[in-house]
């Protein structure tokens, strides 16, 4: 078995991992190793041929593939080592990675610091308790996107989409452009799951109806989907009897949420946050295990790739500080509390020796109009942001200068 020793290993070559590797290099890290299980860099961006990426990061309206290419080019211009087709199968709390690929075989990689950037996966039919038969033609939106955009095949002729998250909206438009009839997008929650601009550009412009407060409650067809039963649902997401309606279709696309892929993190005994389903992070994006950092969708499901990249860079800065010994030794944490109207805030805690500007990401609990976000440290306001509206699908971000006290973040209508 090959033994390798590196300063920083980044697990995952998607937007978070690319940004992390690049920033680690820029911050002066020595040997940086980027491990990617796919045959190419870019992660899920490789199948995102729609535009809207990079408005914050590059000030340009890029496709996902273009955005990934810019980062991949920057990474390849450095001496960052890239291992493609490489699967990490274990990470220990002592920062030893076991990874494998066809040419190197099994590798044991000792790491000074590790940045987790494995991204997320899609929730499946059973996970949203979709009952009925289990025929072909029930696919997650990501799988449909891969089949159409990367493989060049259509998985159906007439589709119903369950879930109005961004990927569901994007796929409604994409399928329509490829000649698939999209009967409608059904959203069990009482409000849109994705960004408003995606609803306008992907549904309204193509006359695709959005049905909020409705869900797919049964799948019909033994071999291939023949149709679905949709129904209005109550606040408990259960079908309201008498509202059922059969819709013939041969494809059910599931866009019912994303789950951070933290199996490696759990193996390394990283403490998890039940809300974000990602690791509990501090202001350096370090997990509860010293020297293991996390960024991007493995930490919390973001909406904008620009935020994903920014979190990757933040985690890399933390990793470099760790290598320099600046984060060593015992330390104490103060909590970051989700205050009024706030569902969660990432990072979840700050070190008492924290100083300087740090970015935070949060989601509100329900749609709000004309809002003011306030971050208080030990009762003292240290940051505030105003916005015309806030909604659960749209992540909010702010930067605050820390001095190590407990934080409370709240969003109120003004």
Q: Among 97, 102, 78, 76, which residue's Cα sits nearest to residue 10? A: 97
Which residues contact other proteins (rule: CB under 8 A)?
Answer: 1-2, 37, 85, 87, 89, 98, 100-106, 108, 121-122, 124-127, 129, 131-137, 140, 142-143, 146-148, 151-157, 177-179, 222-224, 250, 263, 266
CB closer to other proteins out of 26 and 226 = 226
DSSP per position, 352-410: TT--EEEEEEEEESS-EEEEEEEEEETTEEEEEEEEEEE-TTS-EEEEEEE-S--EEEE
User: Which residue carries 């999209």 as its tokens?
Assistant: 182
Rounded to whole angstroms, how far apart are CA atoms 342 and 412? Answer: 9
In the complex, minimum distance from the CB of residue 206 to other proteins, in angstroms, rounded to a whole number: 11
In the complex, minimum distance from the CB of residue 213 to other proteins, in angstroms, rounded to a whole number: 19
CB closer to other proteins out of 27 and 47 = 47
SS3 112: strand
Rounded to whole angstroms, how far apart are CA atoms 399 and 13? Answer: 26
For residue 91, the Cα-to-chain-centroid distance in whole angstroms is 21
In the complex, minimum distance from the CB of residue 32 to other proteins, in angstroms, rounded to a whole number: 23
In the complex, minimum distance from the CB of residue 172 to other proteins, in angstroms, rounded to a whole number: 15
Contact present, 333 and 360 (Cβ < 8 Å): no
Radius of gyration of the chain (CA): 22
CB closer to other proteins out of 151 and 399 = 151
CB closer to other proteins out of 102 and 329 = 102
In the complex, minimum distance from the CB of residue 84 to other proteins, in angstroms, rounded to a whole number: 11
CB closer to other proteins out of 31 and 123 = 123
CB closer to other proteins out of 26 and 85 = 85
SS3 211: strand
Cα dist. 4→97, 173, 183, 352, 404 in Å?
Answer: 10, 46, 53, 35, 37
In the complex, minimum distance from the CB of residue 394 to other proteins, in angstroms, rounded to a whole number: 25
């Amino acid at each position: 078995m090959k033994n390798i020793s590196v300063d920083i290993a980044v697990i995952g070559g998607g937007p978070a991992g690319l940004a992390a590797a690049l920033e680690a290099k820029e911050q002066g890290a020595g040997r940086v190793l980027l491990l990617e299980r796919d045959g190419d860099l870019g992660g899920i961006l490789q199948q995102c041929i729609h535009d809207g990426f990079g408005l914050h990061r590059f000030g340009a309206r890029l496709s996902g593939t273009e955005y990934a290419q810019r980062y991949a080019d920057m990474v390849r211009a450095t001496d960052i080592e890239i291992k493609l087709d490489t699967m990490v199968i274990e990470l220990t709390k002592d920062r030893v990675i076991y990874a494998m690929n066809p040419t190197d075989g099994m590798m044991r990689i000792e790491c000074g610091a590790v940045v987790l950037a494995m991204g997320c996966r899609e929730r499946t039919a059973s996970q949203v308790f979709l009952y009925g038969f289990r025929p072909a033609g029930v696919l997650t939106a990501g799988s449909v996107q891969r089949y159409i955009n990367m493989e060049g095949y259509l998985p159906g002729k007439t589709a119903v989409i369950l879930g109005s998250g961004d990927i569901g909206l994007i796929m409604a438009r994409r399928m329509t452009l490829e000649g698939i009839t999209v009967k409608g997008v059904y959203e069990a929650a009482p409000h849109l799951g994705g960004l408003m601009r995606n609803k306008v550009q992907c549904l309204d412009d193509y006359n695709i109806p959005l049905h909020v407060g409705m869900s797919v409650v049964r799948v019909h067809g033994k071999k291939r989907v023949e149709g679905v039963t949709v129904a209005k649902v109550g606040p408990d997401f259960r079908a309201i009897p008498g509202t059922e309606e059969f819709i013939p279709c041969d494809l059910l696309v599931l866009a019912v949420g994303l789950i951070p892929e933290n199996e490696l993190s759990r193996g390394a005994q990283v403490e998890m946050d039940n809300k974000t389903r990602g690791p509990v992070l501090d202001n350096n994006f370090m997990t509860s295990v010293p020297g293991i950092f996390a960024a991007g969708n493995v930490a919390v499901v973001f909406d904008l790739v620009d935020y994903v990249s920014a979190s990757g860079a933040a985690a890399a800065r933390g990793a470099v500080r760790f290598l320099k010994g600046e984060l060593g030794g015992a330390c104490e944490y103060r909590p970051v509390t989700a205050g009024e109207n706030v569902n969660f805030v990432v990072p979840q805690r700050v070190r008492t020796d924290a100083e300087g500007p740090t970015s935070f990401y949060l989601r509100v609990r329900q749609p709000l109009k004309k809002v003011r976000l306030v971050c208080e440290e030990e009762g003292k306001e240290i940051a505030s942001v105003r916005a015309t509206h806030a909604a659960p699908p749209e992540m909010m971000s702010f930067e605050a200068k820390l001095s190590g006290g407990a934080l409370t973040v709240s969003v109120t209508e003004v």
